[in-house]
Chains A and B, each alone.
Chain A
Amino acid sequence: AQKITQTQPGMFVQEKEAVTLDCTYDTSDQSYGLFWYKQPSSGEMIFLIYQGSYDEQNATEGRYSLNFQKARKSANLVISASQLGDSAMYFCAMRGNNQAGTALIFGKGTTLSVSS
């Protein structure tokens, strides 16, 4: 069975600092995708970044980068130069060839608080 683990219920960081949110996954699939989403208190799930299992380079999108270590089954999100607007819940998710098709399997989430 596929599983996503986020071990940090909450993280605190000051503005302009970098922060790493941890994510480990478990799957027996060879082909899978890993995602990070941001969910502010308004509720919308905002797609941040995607890494395919066959992608050799780590994905980057602006201030977001995904530190993909396939052998360790980890897909940590790095946010550089944190901003107050980054305060939100962050979910790591995976999609693979499982019974649920391409529906996402989510971790429990990490609440990030950015202070000035």
Chain B
Amino acid sequence: DTEVTQTPKHLVMGMTNKKSLKCEQHMGHRAMYWYKQKAKKPPELMFVYSYEKLSINESVPSRFSPECPNSSLLNLHLHALQPEDSALYLCASSLNEGAGAGEQYFGPGTRLTVT
């Protein structure tokens, strides 16, 4: 099973709301990622977790707050977002970090609209 699940599929939120995106995998992968993707552009890395610890933060604004409660779960907490944060948010996982870690599998994404 190479499945990464993400909830919700769609999310509309106001600029003063607090919401969370959830990602789950049961492949025993120890590296998990958040990417942001704008329409017709490639995904851009936001965060990397390795063995449940944050290893990379690509200078993401603090209104995005990641959390990795255990090796299967990855959350992205959202607060005081701006309309330009509207995008597809993709979660991914791989066996571990390192060039030989094999494939990186993506979830179906959450389409976020900030009004």
Taking Cβ atoms with an 8 Å cutoff, the residues of A that contact B are 29, 31-33, 35, 37, 42-47, 50, 52-53, 89, 91, 95-97, 99-104, 106-109
Contacts and interface: CB of A to CB of B under 8 A. Distances in A.
Contacts of A103: 33, 45, 48, 56
Interface string B79-115: 0000000001010101011111111111111010000
Given A33-B99, A47-B104, 4 more contacts: A33-B100, A45-B106, A95-B99, A109-B41
A106 B109 contact: no
Given A37-B106, A44-B106, A100 B58 contact: yes
A24 B64 CA distance: 33
Q: How large is the interface on B (under 10, 10 to 19, 20 to 34, 35 or more residues)?
A: 20 to 34
A104 B94 CA distance: 11
Contacts of A91: 42-43
Contacts, number: 83
8 contacts: A45-B43, A47-B2, A50-B102, A97-B99, A103-B48, A104-B104, A106-B43, A108-B42
Interface string B1-31: 0100000000000000000000000000001
Contact of A97 (B2, B42, B98, B102): B98
